[in-house]
Amino acid sequence: MTQMTMVQALNAGLRRAMENDPKVLLMGEDIGPLGGVFRVTDGLHKDFGDLRVIDSPLAESGIVGTAVGLAMRGYRPVLEIQFDGFVYPAFDQIVTMVAKHHYRSGGITRMPMVIRIPYGGGIGAVEHHSESPEAYFAHTPGLRVLTPADAAEAYVTIQQAIASDDPVIYLEPKRRYWDRAEVDEVSAISGSPWTSRVLRRGSDVTLVGYGPMVRTCLEAADAAAEDGVSCSVIDLRSLSPLDVEPVADDVRRTGRCVVVHEAPVVLGVAAEVSAQVTEQCFFHLEAPVQRVGGAFLPYPPNRYEKHYLPDVDRVLDGIDRSLAT
């Protein structure tokens, strides 16, 4: 086991995937000698060369469009979108070609592609650098959507995403890039990334989060425990497919559920989780499912983001609302 930041874990995972499969190649803006804005690809250009770590022009649509052709020819391109807000020029390519090609070809042609997107706020960035676009992609049939919560998960799931024959939108919570965790680089990669993880069992409330909010939920559970409230914590991990069954199983015990994400609450992932939990657990619920998320506003200037982003206090408020019913 090695202590790593999420950046280091992603780098190690990419390296291992490239060593194991010569068809894996990387594309993106400034990912070559610079190693990317967040240095996730640091050192890979030196070791694998220009043909496998490709510095692309500043043209997201071109990056994704080129990768479509590569995937059709049997390669496994891993693309880096520099920041979440930069993905929109490539949105047409992603939802009309990447997501639909396997279906349109009658299952003949696969689209093994990973699109890495640093997302979310909490780092004091400028406009278009702190958005949460996950609902757009999770709503699109044909795309898998995955988001790790810590370095250990990042190391494993980036390799599993690359091994997938389906296109994967891989959302990296940039505020967790520098959080450290124990990473096992030796054991074989096993298990499915498309399932939720139960991180803690409690008896009073089920907290559900993903990506950057998993740590916040764990911290809120610790704070709630000081007041005698016992919380389960579940990491969704995969947003498409969405594995709600472990959440429903836990809610049948606790009778209460709070779903947390950074994105605006309106029509967000939490709405789908809430609907499915209500459908499956209606006769077990002691209170309506509560949602905690961002305001229905464009992401604010960085000096105001602490008022926009969910924090421990807002999750505790969601717990209080659930217990008060």
Of residues 194, 193, 221, 192, the one with CA closest to residue 206: 221
Instruction: Give the residue ranges of DSSP H helices in the chain.
Output: 6-20, 44-48, 60-72, 91-93, 101-104, 134-138, 151-163, 213-226, 245-254, 269-281, 305-308, 312-324
Contact 189, 159 (CB under 8 A): yes
Structure tokens at 252: 């049948």
Residue 116 phi, psi dihedral angles, 5° rounding: -85, 130
DSSP per residue, 219-239: HHHHHHHHTT--EEEEE--EE
Residue 123 phi, psi dihedral angles, 5° rounding: -120, 10
Chain centre to alpha carbon of residue 299: 18
Helix (H, G, I), strand (E, B) or coil at 140: coil
Partner residues linked to 172 by β-bridges:
118
Of residues 117, 50, 118, 52, the one with CA closest to residue 90: 117
> What CA–CA distance (Å, rounded) separates 173 from 122?
9
Position 273: which residue type?
V
> What CA–CA distance (Å, rounded) separates 266 from 293?
9
Partner residues linked to 3 by β-bridges:
182
Active site residues: 129
> What CA–CA distance (Å, rounded) separates 113 from 71?
7
Helix (H, G, I), strand (E, B) or coil at 306: helix
Helix (H, G, I), strand (E, B) or coil at 284: coil
